[in-house]
Structure 1
Amino acid sequence: MNALYAVLAVAAAGIIPGAGMVHAEIPEVVKIGGIFEYNWAEGAEGAAISEMAVEDFNAYLENIGAGWSLHLSSEDTQSSGSVSLDKVHTFNGAGVKILVGLPFSQYIVQAASYIDRNNMLVISHAAQAENLAIDDTIFRLVPHDGYQAPAIAKMLEDAGIEVLVTVARADTWGDGHVAGVRERFSGVMEPGLRYNTDAQEFSVAVGVLDDVISGLVERHGAEKVGVLYVGNDEFLPIMQAMRFYENVSKVRWFATNTQSFKTYFFEDPVAREFAEATQFTTTRSIVSSDNRVKDALDAKYMEMYNATISTYGYAAYDSIWLLGLTILQTQSTDTETLAGAIPYVASHMLGASGDLTLTEYGDLATAEFEVWQVSDGAWVQVVDE
């Protein structure tokens, strides 16, 4: 028995009274569909960790003599909301009603009505838009961004920023994040760059941004102007485009937790120079440091991939175990039954993310954030004095 399976088996035993019973309503193989963003580092991570979770959960089922197992079939969104929706259609057509993944909020917006009409069930490991906190059968094992916005506002204000420019994705998540910060930031927010998520070339838009920053620096002083980036791995080509402009790096840059601990700030020379010049600073979502499930998963993942895990990776792992334990608890794969039981099971479950208690809308109820900054080629925590 591997260490991680042993830890999770102990954690699960307290909430599963039916171990070893015959489960007439559960098929021998329970099929789950996975829809992941392989072009996003945390998306590929989520897919790999979900497979690990299925393997570990199936070992648990075999040990208790459950008589059934999980099978995960994963598909790539190809960085497209329409492709993601097509995958939802395909899984439903194949009779697969239970899905994990769907990492971006915009993908959920596009698929939500179809999911509802067809009685499907989703647990997302990464979609965080605040406006998705509604009563539906789409659960999110991450806190929505309404929790992060105050942490971002405090990060900005602690840095002495009085005028904020935003650079954000033009989608549900990006727009929602900017709106949330606007509600909570005490300074002035100026329009900056709102870019299409499928954009490949940024030089013209960055030229406009450079002019905006130049004007703000002239009026307010560089030390009072900051830029908040709300996006994913497309920040690397944006930084590549910015190297040809002089004003964008004269002010401090900040970002949401999606940029924390990104390795391209050290692996790419342009990104490294930009991060050092702008004292690049982010929020970082954290989980409990004394979580035995997290510690065991960290050790296994490091051994397999020589890498650390993001908070989205922990959520992906927990998604599989939460689904599996709810199926075991209810002795059913009916999505309506599962949707009704998931909040109860989650409230009694310790996952890699820690306490999995959900809000009334099915989102992770707890959130903690730290502030980290790139300094001398490393991520350094910013501690309040």
Structure 2
Amino acid sequence: MFLAGCVQKQEEENVIKVGLLVDLSGGLATYGNNEKHICEIAEEKINKYFEEKGIPYKVKLYVEDTKADPKVCLDKMQALHAQGINLFLGPMASGEVKNVKNFVNSNKLVIISPSSTAPPEAIGCAKPEDKKYIFRFVPTDNFQGNAIGDVAKELGLKNVVVIYRADAWGDGLKKATVEKLKANGINVIDVIPYDPNIGDWSPIIQKVTNEISGKGNDTGIVFIGYEEVATLLAQIKDDSPLLNYKWIGCDGTANSKKVLEEVKDKAVKVKLYSTMFQSETDEAEKIKEEFKKRGYGEPDQYALNVYDAFWVGAISYAEMLQEAGKYDADLLAKKIKENAIKYSEGQFGVKSVTGYIKLNEWNDRASGNYGIFAVTEDGWKLVGIWDSTTGKISWQ
């Protein structure tokens, strides 16, 4: 029994526990389930890689459903930390990141979010030191706001109503988007917030209807929110004039399965042009093929982001243990920033699926292009790419 106990303790010491905080049943469930599935694939591949390289560790994934709810997210993080978990993939939403920030910093935990995009100040970070342990493998919404504004301009819109989710993420993206819309000479008729827990959309539907009815086809609706856009569209009557205008969504709506399952006909009418960070390598095709073979469908960009995040986090954690012999948050944070570049360059013998990952002083991805997706009769389709370096859109 004594020997068995020693062996078990040794095995436990060689396990790198990684917490995955994702939305499996809320407003980002399409993306959260994709992230869960792709992380399970990554877990297998990382353990095989460690074994082949003689790295004396194994990774073990612990998955929790946050429902994209900031309070639930903090509760789940605290529960996982109580189990000895110090490295987290996620959370997904910026409101969640904002709510766990103080817990992360006070307990010196390290998180890598694949999809939190609010500018640093919107998640409560006044200086880079505040985000020392918070990494995001996606550009901030200062990029996406520009992309949305340019999509509106390219679509010939002169007037828009903006509907946005009143939380840290929605506030940040709304601000960046409105600034770009105005810079592009587009008249912002109204900016309407909504409660993330909204059930009845009728007051907002009536308000928008009153504001844009009778206006020409140079008028549109910008929706900054999550998959609740499906509920909004479902509550709009089939003969509503709102369905005669172009709609623009964002990364919270792009490739939403809920939209296709619940309101495809209406979404086809308004197109719901939606922007999402877009960066894939040839290696991504192999992972996407494996994802499909397992019956998971098509992985989105954020799933690819978390796949790379898992690899960089796991390699960095193993190096930290080999050098320090124990968990050291400062060393781990330093290694993640260094290894993101090494991993991108193929120095570990593994190829990145999202291209070059360079992090800025805030530990956020430094740049990136955005895909423009629209709902067609055949489902979501990539219809254009917005180039972050030129601000130009290449329509496909």
Q: Provide the TM-score with structure 2 as the length reference.
A: 0.83
- The amino acid that maps onto 1:287 is S
Distance change >3 Å, CA 122–CA 202, structure 1 → 2: same
Q: Distance in 2 between matches of 1:153 and 1:194?
A: 18
Measured on the aligned residues, the alpha-carbon RMSD in Å equals: 2.2
1:14 paired residue number = none
Distance change >3 Å, CA 202–CA 47, structure 1 → 2: same
Q: Does 1:145 align with 2:141?
A: yes
* Native 8 Å contact 1:211 1:247 kept in 2: no
Q: Distance in 2 between matches of 1:377 and 1:299?
A: 20
1:29 paired residue number = 15
Cα offset for 1:128?
Answer: 0.8
Secondary structure of the corresponding residue to residue 244 of structure 2: coil
* Native 8 Å contact 1:322 1:342 kept in 2: yes
Q: Distance in 1 between matches of 2:118 and 2:311?
A: 24
Q: Does 1:310 align with 2:311?
A: no
Q: Does 1:343 align with 2:337?
A: yes
Q: Distance in 2 between matches of 1:292 and 1:163?
A: 40
* Native 8 Å contact 2:162 2:191 kept in 1: yes
Q: Distance in 2 between matches of 1:358 and 1:314?
A: 17
Cα offset for 1:248?
Answer: 1.5
Cα offset for 1:317?
Answer: 0.8
Cα offset for 1:244?
Answer: 5.7
2:359 paired residue number = 358
Q: Distance in 1 between matches of 2:23 and 2:248?
A: 24
1:273 paired residue number = 265
Cα offset for 1:238?
Answer: 0.7
Q: Distance in 1 between matches of 2:65 and 2:255?
A: 24
Of 88, 102, 108 in structure 2, the residue corresponding to residue 119 of structure 1 is 108
- The amino acid that maps onto 1:86 is D
- The amino acid that maps onto 2:233 is M
Q: Distance in 1 between matches of 2:271 and 2:112?
A: 36
Distance change >3 Å, CA 320–CA 254, structure 1 → 2: same
Q: Does 1:129 align with 2:118?
A: yes
- The amino acid that maps onto 1:32 is V
2:287 paired residue number = 297
Distance change >3 Å, CA 163–CA 301, structure 1 → 2: same
Q: Does 1:67 align with 2:56?
A: yes
1:177 paired residue number = 173
Cα offset for 1:82?
Answer: 0.7
Instruction: List gaps (5 residues or longer) in structure 1.
Output: 1-23
Distance change >3 Å, CA 96–CA 371, structure 1 → 2: closer
User: Quick one: percent identity of the two aligned structures?
Assistant: 21
Instruction: Please identify, of 195-204 and 138-147, the stretch whose mean Cα deviation from structure 2 is larger.
Output: 195-204
2:391 paired residue number = none
Distance change >3 Å, CA 117–CA 76, structure 1 → 2: same
Q: Distance in 2 between matches of 1:83 and 1:75?
A: 10
* Native 8 Å contact 2:68 2:96 kept in 1: no
Q: Distance in 2 between matches of 1:360 and 1:79?
A: 27
2:243 paired residue number = 249
Cα offset for 1:192?
Answer: 4.4
1:3 paired residue number = none
Q: Distance in 1 between matches of 2:45 and 2:84?
A: 24
2:33 paired residue number = 44
Q: Distance in 2 between matches of 1:72 and 1:41?
A: 20
Of 68, 78, 87 in structure 2, the residue corresponding to residue 98 of structure 1 is 87
- The amino acid that maps onto 1:300 is E
Cα offset for 1:100?
Answer: 1.1
Aligned length in residues: 352
Q: Distance in 2 between matches of 1:49 and 1:376?
A: 27
Q: Provide the TM-score with structure 1 as the length reference.
A: 0.85
Cα offset for 1:306?
Answer: 4.9
1:13 paired residue number = none
1:78-93 aligned at under 5 Å gives the runs 78-93=67-82
Secondary structure of the corresponding residue to residue 294 of structure 2: helix
Distance change >3 Å, CA 275–CA 244, structure 1 → 2: closer
- The amino acid that maps onto 1:278 is V
2:274 paired residue number = 282
Distance change >3 Å, CA 374–CA 76, structure 1 → 2: closer
Q: Distance in 2 between matches of 1:202 and 1:184?
A: 27
Cα offset for 1:266?
Answer: 4.1
1:12 paired residue number = none
Distance change >3 Å, CA 212–CA 52, structure 1 → 2: same
* Native 8 Å contact 2:383 2:395 kept in 1: no
Instruction: List gaps (5 residues or longer) in structure 2.
Output: 1-9, 345-351, 385-393
Cα offset for 1:91?
Answer: 2.2
Cα offset for 1:259?
Answer: 2.3
* Native 8 Å contact 1:286 1:368 kept in 2: yes
